[in-house]
Structure 1
């Protein structure tokens, strides 16, 4: 599959320098930041609303149905479904009594994992939730890579954003950094959606 190297490199540069640019304007380094690592080990917050009705989160609240209901969640996308360390074995039946709809994605946060096969289904799930006035909680383990990739794909597929616009939208609300394999898959999606027709 094709993608535009220039687009991918622009996105990489933006993501890897977003924090350093912010730090250069401040003398005090927030906890988790350093001048040598441009992205914090974990985001400052457990969850952030990155787009109206869409929250990206770590796994802290993934099993806490009461807390999810308290913040108005109607739909959950678990991007780290499974039984291994860093995964969360939730299911539709787990959330049924809370009236929360569920989508599970068994994704590993490694560059060789094909996250793109889940883009369309997850985008449809999120879009349908928002169309009904719902609020979607998209999580993985840290809320940095897998969940961010799914939300970026949604914004590109369903909201007409190109790759960079989607990244800027999400990154303005939460410290995310999808792994490089996922970034390439999103660059391919961007090429298919927005660039291929201009390539000839």
Structure 2
């Protein structure tokens, strides 16, 4: 499953780059035709809207593959490893339910209802544009199952992103809970890693005292 995830990550990254590039070019052409030529293009507005929707959906799926979305985890980090594991599993189940019900099931219904509706100024129909919903839902479903399996077997913690004022935010393939991060605990306990704990005076302080 990890090999499939890596392939999907590469494909999603390339797709997001292509969608973003196309969006920039379309919007640039729209501004150029409106402000410079004085004859606004009729297809750029609709195209930009659909490109933005596609970029948002597939970009969200790509970020979810790395569990990089913003999370309010203040209370969860106050608990132990088991509780954090339960929170992580519950979160994946909620995301899985949303992807299955809203994105896949709802998206397929939307595709079926709008397949016969043509998009003004474009050689496609609305149903084809709505395909981004079930496709992104299938991707998010796969990623949710992938992370849920890794959490269940203990290969991934419930809260994968460790946060510290000096370290910042990061995601690793073998994430730890905040209380088990050796970079934080060693810094707090080893005076060699934190000069404020060894009792020695700061040379700048001695200089100031001598003054």
Report which of the two has the higher share of strand.
Answer: 1
Identify which of structures 1 and 2 has the higher relative contact order when contacts are C-alpha pairs closer than 8 Å and 6+ apart.
1
Report which of the two has the higher share of helix.
Answer: 2
Would the TM-score normalized by the shorter structure come out above 0.5?
no
TM-score, normalised with respect to structure 2: 0.26
